[in-house]
Structure 1
Amino acid sequence: MAWEVGSWILMGIFIIIVGWIRFYKMKKIMIKTSSTATANIPRGSSGWPWIGETLHFIVSAYTTRPVTFMDKRKSLYGKVFKTHILGRAVIVSTDPEVNKVVLLNQDNIFIPYYPKSVIELLGKSSILQLNGTVHRRLHALIAGFFRSPHLKARITTHIEDSVKLTLSTWETKPTVYVQQETKKITFEVLVRVLMGLGPSEDLNFLKREYAEFIKGLICLPIKFPGTRLYKSLQAKERMLKMLRRIIEERKIGLQQKIDDKGMANDAVDILLGDIGDESNEIHQRLPLDFISDNIIEMMIPGEDSVPMVMTLAVKFLSDNPLALSRLVEENMDLKKHKARSCDDYSWNDYMSLPFTQNVINETLRMANIINAVWRKAQRDVEIKGYLIPKGWCVLASLSSVHMDEENYENPYQFHPWRWEKKGGNFNSNITFTPFGGGQRLCPGLELSRLEISIFLHHLVTTYIWVAKKDDIVNFPTVKMKQKLPITIKPIYPLR
């Protein structure tokens, strides 16, 4: 843990230096806008010179209630306020209606804005950084593939096999670390979906290098040899070398597959086969380096977000016996039905389990894996009477909306039954945005739900468990302090 403490001390020094420079830039922006629209800029505080309110922001993120920073300022200034954090002037929104406008971004007023380490690591051709036509095209290709009946028909079996194989190894372990085990499942599934890679040396290589790569996602943006960012960039280069080889080999056989009217098996097939729209300027095949970079980026949910939702679902269920009992009952009923009918499980079988979906919704709401969306205004824009000046960053706080008593009664209580009242159309609910929204709605949201549903089904129908005490860490990303250790006991097979 010493390296983590040292790293955050260095980051604090870096933020002070950058903040000192940007503090004066923000003052210039304030002077430019004050003559015409100062009254409309949200109220708030710029905090201390140079560092702004960064320390308060980070300290709050380390607590059990990381939205405390937002809540305190919301009580002082309202649901939309200004601050100065991480070296930038920021407009923070905890208003679901303002967040919706930012997410939908219908007039392309906002562009993505991320920490410099993210930009350095993912590259400018990353789907996170892209904007406009190319982004829409890439997003549509991937989302269409993830929703395709062809994928749904076979990926369910692949996920089941991966879950069952992993769970089968738990019985001999005195302690199971859920966060660690779920990463094995989700990473293997996503790599298969993205590039058709099954168990192999290449997969093991990717696992090792990706674990090194992901450590640099939020770090000091310094690329000297030995720094965290440098090590992560080196890991990325090693992965790119392997991916280019695989994609080059796939490209050779692509034309034969097209001639034979073969179906795309994975995301690489989809991206290699796309030639764009002849009616516009992007009528061209996607470059191989572009494909390689974005395949690496699309692996992030398999290493980070989806396994954390699985892990936190286990934690929340462990702390709520009534919810766990109801989940077991629903999934045991499905298992008995399948045993009698001798039918295979389908995508719809898992996705139509109502209480299971309620548990997933409630976990997503409380987990807040994607706790905020960062954007930058390309021009002055007014939303609900608030002025967001050109060049200012907007932080749409999704977690603040999820944990607001106006939107959810007793928001810090894990209560899956609340979703029975809200109905099943959760994707159109502006107070529930765990997958983002608008043009940047996560293309793999249905696949993620399926993975979590399959994992929960086979877990609660295979084992009973006792979770050891563990705490949630919310900064810089959500994780369990001890990887959520549990002890398990198998359930006897159904007769």
Structure 2
Amino acid sequence: MIFDGISGSMGGKETIIVSVILATLLLVVLSIALGKQKSRNSVRASRLPPGVKGWPFIGDTLNWYLSISSSHPPRFVEAHVEKYGKIFSCRLFGRQAVVSADSHFNRFILQNEGRFFQSSYPKSFRDLVGKNGVIAMQGEQQRRLHGIAVNMMKMDKLKFHFLNDIQVVLLQTLNNLQENENLLFQNVCRKLAINLMVNQLLGVTTEAEINDMAHLFSDFVNGVLSIPINLRGFPYYTAMRARNIIISKINKTIELKKHSELETGNSVLGRLLNEENLSDEAVADFIISLLFAGNETTAMTMLFAISFLSQSPKALKQLIAEQDGLRKAQGLMLTWEDYKSMHFTQCVIDETLRVGGIAISLMREAKENVEYQGK
């Protein structure tokens, strides 16, 4: 209205002059505002470790993703450490990030979990794991869900259910391998891990169901740390589609178990429905987060164990000798007492977990500005 009044009472030349003045004033105001914002950003940036911003929004995400998907995952960190030092800044998943390869600083972060730092994951991770996933939760609710997960693996359950189930799944997986087939051991480990996880968590036993879940879960995992672009052809889109199908399968299984006259069974899902007061949505998120947490770590641990043993013939020979000493008659399963007597096997497992480094990174968010060693 004001501009209409001015235009109506002035000639063309005067209108142009007023427009120029208004445009100039607008530019001055914007310049001041942007200058203040830039100043604030500069103050914040000046307090961050040295580093590079990379491409807008994407930042270094693509380089990081290519690195962890390669045969040498530490490549991204090594290149930046060489240039900027063990603690550097960059942009990952659309956000400013500080990456640390400094063991002392990492210990400081973990020791101050809950005080100065809290778990934080990219949007793609949070969307896929779910708001009720034990990995994504904070505080008391996370402790409650973690307690449920620990309770699922109590010693009596391990003795009477898990040990026997894992032998059945292992034998089924090995029996399905073709004779004289060339195998990639990594693929065998992943297939065995997903077979075991869906069996224990959902009670799935048929080959068709397991293969279907393995395919869906492969798509799911590929999108967990992707750029959250929900368009066909992008990993995030494919992963979210796989998640929806997996959740649908979990919900159908929940309904079947609820309306079945038979006992809900020994699967984790069955025990959750029997023992815990959780909503169906929370149960589904809980199961999918355990699938994610357990599948890749189990597969990688087995793969690392074989890799390390192949480099240590003496240890491999001792392990085989211990296993041969416990061979059972055909059809008989190993017992809990057999497992406890495998002292060298336990040493191999412990050393694999120590050296293997299954988790390549942890993600934490500062709850407030933090100074470390005066920086």
Bucket of the pairwise TM-score, normalised by the shorter protein = 0.7 to 0.9
How many residue pairs get aligned? The number is 337
* Alignment partner, residue 168 of structure 2: 161
1:112: Cα distance to partner?
Answer: 2.4
Q: Residues of 1 paired with 2:37 and 2:133: CA distance?
A: 28
* Alignment partner, residue 287 of structure 1: 279
Which string of whole-angstrom CA distances, capped at 9 and with x for unpartnered residues, describes residues 77-117 of structure 1? 765x2321424333333344443443355535323222332
Q: Which amino acid aligns with 2:306?
A: V
State whether structure 2 residue 360 is matched by structure 1 residue 371: yes
1:158: Cα distance to partner?
Answer: 1.1
Q: Residues of 1 paired with 2:37 and 2:360: CA distance?
A: 27
Task: Point out the structure with max Rg over C-alpha.
Answer: 2
* Alignment partner, residue 269 of structure 1: 270
Which string of whole-angstrom CA distances, capped at 9 and with x for unpartnered residues, describes residues 183-223 of structure 1? 33222222222122322654444334323333322333111
Select the residue among 95, 98, 109 that pairs with 1:102. 109
1:370: Cα distance to partner?
Answer: 1.1
Q: Which structure shows the higher strand fraction?
A: 1
Q: Which structure shows the higher helix fraction?
A: 2
* Alignment partner, residue 31 of structure 1: 43
Cα distance change of structure 1 residues 164 and 212 upon mapping to structure 2, 3 Å threshold: same
Please state whether the residue corresponding to 1:326 is helix, strand or coil. Answer: helix
Q: Which amino acid aligns with 1:83?
A: S
Cα distance change of structure 1 residues 226 and 366 upon mapping to structure 2, 3 Å threshold: same
Please state whether the residue corresponding to 1:381 is helix, strand or coil. Answer: coil
Q: Residues of 2 paired with 1:214 and 1:62: CA distance?
A: 12
Q: Residues of 2 paired with 1:133 and 1:218: CA distance?
A: 26
1:71: Cα distance to partner?
Answer: 4.9
Output the aligned Cα RMSD. 3.7
Q: Residues of 2 paired with 1:225 and 1:251: CA distance?
A: 36
* Alignment partner, residue 82 of structure 1: 88
* Alignment partner, residue 401 of structure 1: none
Please state whether the residue corresponding to 2:362 is helix, strand or coil. Answer: strand
Is the CA contact (8 Å cut-off) linking 1:82 and 1:92 kept in structure 2? yes
Q: Residues of 1 paired with 2:259 and 2:187: CA distance?
A: 37
Cα distance change of structure 1 residues 289 and 386 upon mapping to structure 2, 3 Å threshold: farther
Is the CA contact (8 Å cut-off) linking 1:121 and 1:232 kept in structure 2? yes
Which string of whole-angstrom CA distances, capped at 9 and with x for unpartnered residues, describes residues 349-386 of structure 1? 33553433343344445543310101111123355x36
Is the CA contact (8 Å cut-off) linking 1:121 and 1:233 kept in structure 2? yes
1:253: Cα distance to partner?
Answer: 5.7
1:133: Cα distance to partner?
Answer: 1.2
Q: Residues of 1 paired with 2:207 and 2:188: CA distance?
A: 18
Q: Residues of 1 paired with 2:307 and 2:134: CA distance?
A: 32
Is the CA contact (8 Å cut-off) linking 2:197 and 2:295 kept in structure 1? no
Identity %: 28
Q: Residues of 1 paired with 2:311 and 2:287: CA distance?
A: 37
Please state whether the residue corresponding to 2:287 is helix, strand or coil. Answer: helix
Q: Residues of 1 paired with 2:274 and 2:150: CA distance?
A: 15
Q: Residues of 1 paired with 2:196 and 2:78: CA distance?
A: 38
Cα distance change of structure 1 residues 173 and 49 upon mapping to structure 2, 3 Å threshold: closer
* Alignment partner, residue 289 of structure 2: 297
Is the CA contact (8 Å cut-off) linking 1:151 and 1:265 kept in structure 2? no
More relative contact order in 1 or in 2 (CA 8 Å, sep 6+)?
1
Q: Residues of 1 paired with 2:42 and 2:202: CA distance?
A: 48
Aligned 1:324-335 pairs, distance under 5 A? 324-335=316-327
Q: Which amino acid aligns with 2:122?
A: P
